[in-house]
Amino acid sequence: MLLTELYKWIKRRSFNAGKTLSPREINIIISKTAGIPVERLLTHDNIRIEPPVFKKISHIVEKRLENYPLQYLLGTIEFMCIDFLISPGVLIPRPETELVVQTALKLTEQNNYIDLLDLCCGSGVIGLSIARMNKHVNVCLSDISPKAVALAKKNSKKLRLSRRTRFYTGDLFSALSPSRRFDLIVSNPPYVPHNRISRLQKEILYEPVYALDGGKKGMEIITRIIGQAHKFLRKNGILVMEHDDTQKKYLEKICTGSKPAGLEYVETANDLSGLPRFSIFSVRI
């Protein structure tokens, strides 16, 4: 089968299914599966697609038309221009989370931070991206899911970061020694309000609910992190945490109420859409 015929088949199959796959997505599927650079796909329409490759591509196309996440089908995702492994049962990183990494990197460089904790690490993209871009830091990564921790370990090995990373499996800080201290804690915890879970896009519902559901108002895990993080931070330590765009006022209130946490609210930063996406906290002195 020639590449032009493959494009026609995908277009026809999508039409029959009442769905639409974007040209970009189609090219990514073909490129990743056939091992052909996208640039070559765009300039050479006489490329021959062998039957075994077509079989793999057709399987992926059929699953995508059922709203199954492309990242799971390909087994990889690009984050901070780094290729990470991803698999079903582990949260798919979003582009917005790159802002957390960028902010953490600036704080690390400005304050010469060395010891970092990636809490609710999932596939490890936050902590491992920081370690990849700053060769002076050591990163601990922790998650309640053994599957997520196992995948984060694979990503660490793939990126040759094993010497500067350690992994823990447990509920938030429970797997860590009470005496352990960090310069910086980064986290992308579950923060979707429970009543919004069922209304999420269909493909998001293929992702693990435990990594999305933040309980009532989405603040259950966030509140626990803010209440405990100061115990694991040094005196000049900082927490950078992603959250829902509706939660800024709750985060401010947690740190200024009648029973304030051991952290001080510093600021909230917006994502590329102008929505409040992550907040910074410092240890209360």
Domain identity same for 197 and 229: yes
Q: What is the pLDDT along the chain (285 residues), one digit of tens a residue?
A: 889 999 999 999 999 988 889 999 999 999 999 999 999 988 887 899 999 999 999 999 999 999 999 999 999 999 999 999 999 999 999 999 999 999 999 999 999 999 999 999 999 999 999 999 999 999 999 999 999 999 999 999 999 999 999 999 999 999 999 999 999 999 999 999 999 998 998 899 999 999 999 998 899 999 999 999 999 999 989 999 999 999 988 888 887 765 556 888 899 999 989 999 999 999 876
Residue 75 maps to a domain? no
The answer to whether position 25 is within a domain reads yes
Task: List the CATH number of the domain containing 207.
Answer: 3.40.50.150
**Rounded Cα gap, residues 157 and 140, in angstroms:** 14
Is 59 a member of any domain? yes
Q: Which of 168, 191, 182, 187 is nearest to 118 (CA)?
A: 187
Q: Are 93 and 123 in contact (CB under 8 A)?
A: yes
Residues 16 and 115 in one domain: no
Place of tokens 């993080």: 229
Label residue 190 exposed, middle or buried (CB < 10 Å: 0-12, 13-18, 19+). Answer: buried
Q: Which domain holds residue 144?
A: 87-283
Assess if residue 154 is contained within a domain. yes
> Are 25 and 99 within one domain?
no
What is the number of domains present in the chain?
Answer: 2
| In-domain check, residue 78 | no
Report yes or no: 72 and 92 within 8 Å, Cβ to Cβ.
Answer: yes
